[in-house]
Amino acid sequence: EAGVTQFPSHSVIEKGQTVTLRCDPISGHDNLYWYRRVMGKEIKFLLHFVKESKQDESGMPNNRFLAERTGGTYSTLKVQPAELEDSGVYFCASSPVDGWEQYFGPGTRLTVT
Amino acid sequence: EDKVVQSPLSLVVHEGDTVTLNCSYEVTNFRSLLWYKQEKKAPTFLFMLTSSGIEKKSGRLSSILDKKELFSILNITATQTGDSAVYLCAVEGYGQNFVFGPGTRLSVLP
C-alpha cells in the first residue's frame, strides 16, 4: 500500500515568489492534515480537511496561505507571496474516517531566500 | 527504503502503571530521533536524541537511544489519564528528511 506522498521534497524560492506544495494522502483516507515545522523541534498544526471540506483551519498563519483539496483526494498548499519566515518543513498526514492513527508524509522542505 | 517501526501500536494500561514504548529505525545517515505526543492537533515535542546511551528525562517521561541497535525507548512511569495520546517517533536522516513511525496509541484507564 502506498503511503502519504508529498511533492516536491525540497523547494527553494525567493521572497515574494509563489510556491505550491502537494500532498497525496493514502487512498480512501478522508482526513488530511497539514503541519509545519518552522524552527527547532515543534510541529504546528495548520489545517484539517475532511474530504474536500475544511474542518479546521485555525492554524493557518495568514491569508498568504491557501489550502485546497479538490474532489477530496490530493491537497495543495499555496504560499503567495512567500516570506522568509515561511521557510520550514511542511508535513501532510492522512487518516481514515474512523481511524485514530495519522500517517505522515516525508515532508516538503521549503527554503525562502 | 527508510522506515520507522513502533511497537506496540496500541496499549491500554491503568493509572500508576509504567509503560515502555519502542521505536526502531532504518534511516540513511541518521541525524536525530524525536518523540512527540499527539492528542488533538499538532504533535507536541517531547525529546530529541542524537547520542547513544544518554537518557533524557522530563518529569515522569524518559527516553534513551541506542544507535548501534537502531532503536529508542520512551518510558512513562506512574501513568495518568492525561498521558493518553498517540506517541510518535520520527527520525531525521540525510538531507534532513523526516520519517515518522505509525505511532503508539496509549490509553490510560482510571
Can you read off the three cell numbers belonging to residue A10?
525540497
Q: What is the pLDDT of residue A99?
A: 72
Return the beta strands (E) in chain B as ranges.
3-7, 10-14, 19-26, 32-38, 44-49, 56-58, 61-66, 71-76, 85-92, 98-100, 104-109
Residue of B nearest to A46 (CA): B42
User: Could you report the per-residue pLDDT of A23-64, keeping only the tens digit for each?
Assistant: 999 999 999 999 998 767 788 899 999 999 999 999 999 999
CA B60 to chain CA centroid, Å, is: 14
**Angstrom distance (rounded) from CA B8 to CA B110:** 21
B90–A104 C-beta distance less than 8 A: yes
Q: What is the pLDDT along chain B (110 residues), one digit of tens a residue?
A: 788 999 999 999 999 999 999 999 998 889 899 999 998 778 889 999 999 999 999 999 999 999 999 999 999 999 999 999 999 999 988 766 788 998 999 999 99
Cβ contacts of B83 within 8 Å, gap of 6 or more: B60, B76, B106, B108
Evaluate the CA torsion angle A71, A74, A75, A78 in order and state its sign. negative
Say which residue, A13 or B99, is predicted with more confidence: A13
Of residues B70, B94, B73, the one with CA closest to residue A9 = B94
Of residues B89, B74, B87, the one with CA closest to residue B27 = B89
Q: What's the residue count for chain A?
A: 113
Which residues are registered as beta bridge partners of A95?
Answer: A31
- Among A31, A92, A102, A110, the strongest candidate for a mutation testing the B interface, having the largest count of B CBs within 10 A, is A102
Which residues are registered as beta bridge partners of A77?
Answer: A21, A67
Q: What is the pLDDT of residue B95?
A: 66
Q: What residues of chain A lie within 8 A of the CB of B48, using their CB? A: 41
| Cα of A21 to nearest chain B Cα, Å | 16
